[in-house]
Structure 1
Amino acid sequence: MTSAAPDPTASSEPVPADELPKSWEPQSVEAELYQRWVDAGYFTADPKSDKPGYSIVLPPPNVTGSLHMGHALDHTLMDILCRRKRMQGFEVLWLPGMDHAGIATQMVVEKQLDAEGGSRRDMGREAFIERVWKWKAESGGSIMEQMRRIGDGVDWSRERFTLDDGLSRAVHTIFKNLYDAGLIYRAERLVNWSPVLQTAISDIEVKHEEVDGELISLRYGSLNDDEPHVIVATTRVETMLGDTAVAVHPEDERYQHLIGTTLLHPITERQIPIVADDYVDPSFGSGAVKITSAHDPNDFEIGLRHNLPMPTIMDERARIAGTGTEFDGMDRFEARTKIRERLAREGRVVAEKRPYVHSVGHSERSGEVIEPRLSKQWWVKVETLAAMAGDAVRNGDTVIHPKSLEPRWFAWVDDMHDWCISRQLWWGHRIPIWYGPEGEVVCVGPDESAPDGYVQDPDVLDTWFSSGLWPFSTMGWPDKTDELDKFYPTSVLVTGYDILFFWVARMMMFGRFVAEDSASNPAGGDSALGKVPFHDVFLHGLVRDEFGRKMSKSKGNGIDPLDWVDRFGADALRFTLARGANPGADLPVGEDLAKAARSFATKLFNATRFALMNGAISGEVPPVDELTDADRWILDRLEQVRNDVDAAFERYEFGKACEALYHFTWDEFCDWYIELAKVQFSDEKTAQNTRIVVGTVLDTLLRVLHPVIPFVTETLWTKLTGKESVVIADWPTGLSVPGDTVASRRIADFQHLVTEIRRFRSDQGLRPNQKVPVRIVGLDAADLATLEPYLLNLARLTSAEPDFTSSAAIEVRTSLTTLQVEVDTSGTVDIEAEKRRLAKDLAAAEKELTTTSAKLGNEAFLAKAPDHVVDKIKQRQQIAHEEVKRIGDRLAALGAQ
Structure 2
Amino acid sequence: MQREETATDKSDARYPWRCVPISHRVQEPTPTSLELRTVTKPDLPTQYAPAEVETRSYERWVAEGYFRADPASGREPYCIVLPPPNVTGSLHVGHALDHSIQDALIRRARMRGFETLWLPGTDHAGIATQNVVERELAKEGLTRHDLGREEFVRRVWQWKEEYGGRILSQMRKLGDSVDWSRERFTMDPGLSRAVQTIFKRLFDDGLIYRAERIINWCPRCLTALSDIEVEHSDDEGELVSIRYGDGDASIVVATTRAETMLGDTAVAVHPEDERYRHLVGTEVELPLTGRRIPIVADEHVDPEFGTGAVKVTPAHDPNDFEIGRRHSLPSITMMDERGVVTAPGPFEGLDRFAARAAVVAALREQGRIVAEKRPYIHAVGHCSRCKTVVEPRLSLQWFVKVEPLAKAAGDAVRDGRTRIHPPEMAKRYFDWVDNMHDWCISRQLWWGHRIPVWYGPNGEVVCVGPDEEPPPGYEQDPDVLDTWFSSGLWPFSTLGWPDTTTDLERFYPTTVLVTGYDILFFWVARMMMFGLYAMDGKPPFREVALHGMVRDQFGKKMSKSFGNVVDPLDWIERYGADATRFTLLRGANPGADVAISEDWAAGSRNFCNKIWNATRFALINGATVPDEPPAFADLTAADRWILGRLRSVITAVDEAYEDYEFAKLCDALYHFAWDEVCDWYVEIAKIQIAEGGERAERTRLVLGYVFDNLLRLLHPLVPFVTEELWRALTGKPSITIAPWPTTKGLQEDPEADAELAEFRHLVTEVRRFRSDQGLKPGQRVASRLDLTGTRLAVHEKAIRTLLRLDEPTDSFSATARLVVGSATVEIDTAGAIDVAAERRRLEKDLAAARKEAQQAAAKLGNEQFLAKAPENVIAKVRARAAQAEADIARLEAQLAALPAG
Q: Which residue of 2 aligns with 1:617?
A: 624
- 1:752-831 superposed matches below 5 A: 752-777=761-786, 779-801=787-809, 804-813=812-821, 818-831=822-835
**Maintained 8 Å contact 1:811/1:819:** yes
Measure the CA separation in 1 of the matches of 2:732 and 2:860.
56
Is 2:895 the counterpart of 1:891?
yes
The TM-score normalised by the length of structure 2 is 0.94
Letter in 2 for 1:373: R
Secondary structure of residue in 2 paired with 1:65: coil
Q: Which residue of 1 aligns with 2:697?
A: 688
Write out per-residue CA displacement over residues 218-258 of structure 1, whole angstroms, 9 at most, x where no aligned residue: 11102xx4x41111111111000011111122222221211
**Maintained 8 Å contact 2:97/2:585:** yes
Measure the CA separation in 2 of the matches of 1:348 and 1:895.
90
Letter in 1 for 2:718: I
Aligned residues, how many?
A: 873
2:612 pairs with 605, 617, 628, which one? Answer: 605
Structure 1 residue 48, shift from structure 2 partner: 1.1
Q: Which residue of 2 aligns with 1:215?
A: 239
Letter in 2 for 1:714: E
**Maintained 8 Å contact 1:14/1:615:** no
**Maintained 8 Å contact 1:14/1:614:** no
**Maintained 8 Å contact 2:40/2:731:** no
Write out per-residue CA displacement over residues 471-494 of structure 1, whole angstroms, 9 at most, x where no aligned residue: 000010000001011111100000
Write out per-residue CA displacement over residues 567-625 of structure 1, whole angstroms, 9 at most, x where no aligned residue: 00000001011111111011110001101100000000000011111111111433222
Structure 1 residue 125, shift from structure 2 partner: 0.3
Letter in 2 for 1:593: W
RMSD: 2.0
- The change in CA–CA distance for 1:405 and 1:345 in structure 2 (over 3 A counts) is same
Structure 1 residue 768, shift from structure 2 partner: 1.2
Q: Which residue of 2 aligns with 1:523?
A: none
Q: Which residue of 1 aligns with 2:439?
A: 419
Is 2:556 the counterpart of 1:556?
no
Structure 1 residue 876, shift from structure 2 partner: 4.0
Measure the CA separation in 2 of the matches of 1:556 and 1:857.
34
Write out per-residue CA displacement over residues 516-551 of structure 1, whole angstroms, 9 at most, x where no aligned residue: 3xxxxxxxxxx6xxx111000000111101110111
Letter in 2 for 1:894: L
Measure the CA separation in 1 of the matches of 2:859 and 2:168.
45
Write out per-residue CA displacement over residues 367-419 of structure 1, whole angstroms, 9 at most, x where no aligned residue: 11110010110000000000000000000000000001010011000111100
- The change in CA–CA distance for 1:325 and 1:593 in structure 2 (over 3 A counts) is same
1:670 pairs with 656, 666, 678, which one? Answer: 678
Secondary structure of residue in 1 paired with 2:268: strand
**Maintained 8 Å contact 2:36/2:624:** no
Measure the CA separation in 2 of the matches of 1:859 and 1:216.
40
1:483 pairs with 491, 503, 509, which one? Answer: 503
- 1:570-649 superposed matches below 5 A: 570-619=577-626, 620-649=628-657
- The change in CA–CA distance for 1:48 and 1:850 in structure 2 (over 3 A counts) is farther
Q: Which residue of 1 aligns with 2:46?
A: 22
1:839 pairs with 820, 823, 843, which one? Answer: 843
- The change in CA–CA distance for 1:569 and 1:341 in structure 2 (over 3 A counts) is same
Q: Which moved more, 1:764-773 or 1:387-396?
A: 764-773
Q: Which residue of 1 aligns with 2:472?
A: 452
Secondary structure of residue in 1 paired with 2:898: helix
Structure 1 residue 854, shift from structure 2 partner: 6.0
Is 2:719 the counterpart of 1:710?
yes
Q: Which moved more, 1:504-513 or 1:241-250?
A: 241-250
Letter in 2 for 1:835: R
Measure the CA separation in 1 of the matches of 2:866 and 2:69.
53
Measure the CA separation in 1 of the matches of 2:716 and 2:761.
34
Q: Which residue of 2 aligns with 1:541?
A: 548
Is 2:888 the counterpart of 1:881?
no
Measure the CA separation in 1 of the matches of 2:872 and 2:659.
25
2:295 pairs with 246, 271, 274, which one? Answer: 274
Structure 1 residue 826, shift from structure 2 partner: 2.2
Structure 1 residue 283, shift from structure 2 partner: 2.6
Letter in 1 for 2:770: R
Measure the CA separation in 2 of the matches of 1:427 and 1:15.
55
Q: Which residue of 2 aligns with 1:524?
A: none
Measure the CA separation in 2 of the matches of 1:230 and 1:892.
84
Measure the CA separation in 2 of the matches of 1:627 and 1:788.
18
Write out per-residue CA displacement over residues 170-207 of structure 1, whole angstroms, 9 at most, x where no aligned residue: 00000000000110000100000000011100111111
Uncovered stretches (5+) of structure 2, i.e. residues with no partner: 17-29
Structure 1 residue 294, shift from structure 2 partner: 1.2
**Maintained 8 Å contact 1:10/1:723:** no
Secondary structure of residue in 2 paired with 1:695: helix
Q: Which moved more, 1:595-604 or 1:837-846?
A: 837-846
Q: Which moved more, 1:786-795 or 1:58-67?
A: 786-795
Letter in 1 for 2:130: Q
- The change in CA–CA distance for 1:14 and 1:863 in structure 2 (over 3 A counts) is farther
1:439 pairs with 454, 459, 477, which one? Answer: 459
Q: Which residue of 1 aligns with 2:741?
A: 732
Letter in 1 for 2:808: A
Measure the CA separation in 1 of the matches of 2:623 and 2:867.
55
Letter in 2 for 1:834: E
Secondary structure of residue in 1 paired with 2:436: coil
Structure 1 residue 260, shift from structure 2 partner: 1.0
- What is the aligned-residue identity percentage? 61
Is 2:184 the counterpart of 1:176?
no
Measure the CA separation in 1 of the matches of 2:340 and 2:150.
29
Structure 1 residue 312, shift from structure 2 partner: 1.0
Measure the CA separation in 1 of the matches of 2:273 and 2:281.
14
Structure 1 residue 864, shift from structure 2 partner: 7.7
- The change in CA–CA distance for 1:134 and 1:14 in structure 2 (over 3 A counts) is closer
Measure the CA separation in 2 of the matches of 1:869 and 1:481.
58
Q: Which residue of 2 aligns with 1:492?
A: 512
Measure the CA separation in 2 of the matches of 1:414 and 1:186.
23
Structure 1 residue 670, shift from structure 2 partner: 0.3
Q: Which residue of 2 aligns with 1:522?
A: none
Is 2:406 the counterpart of 1:386?
yes
Secondary structure of residue in 1 paired with 2:623: coil
1:102 pairs with 106, 120, 126, which one? Answer: 126
Measure the CA separation in 2 of the matches of 1:354 and 1:460.
41
Structure 1 residue 14, shift from structure 2 partner: 7.5
Structure 1 residue 278, shift from structure 2 partner: 2.3
Measure the CA separation in 1 of the matches of 2:618 and 2:135.
58
Structure 1 residue 451, shift from structure 2 partner: 0.2
Is 2:416 the counterpart of 1:372?
no
**Maintained 8 Å contact 1:14/1:613:** no
Uncovered stretches (5+) of structure 1, i.e. residues with no partner: 517-526
Structure 1 residue 863, shift from structure 2 partner: 7.1
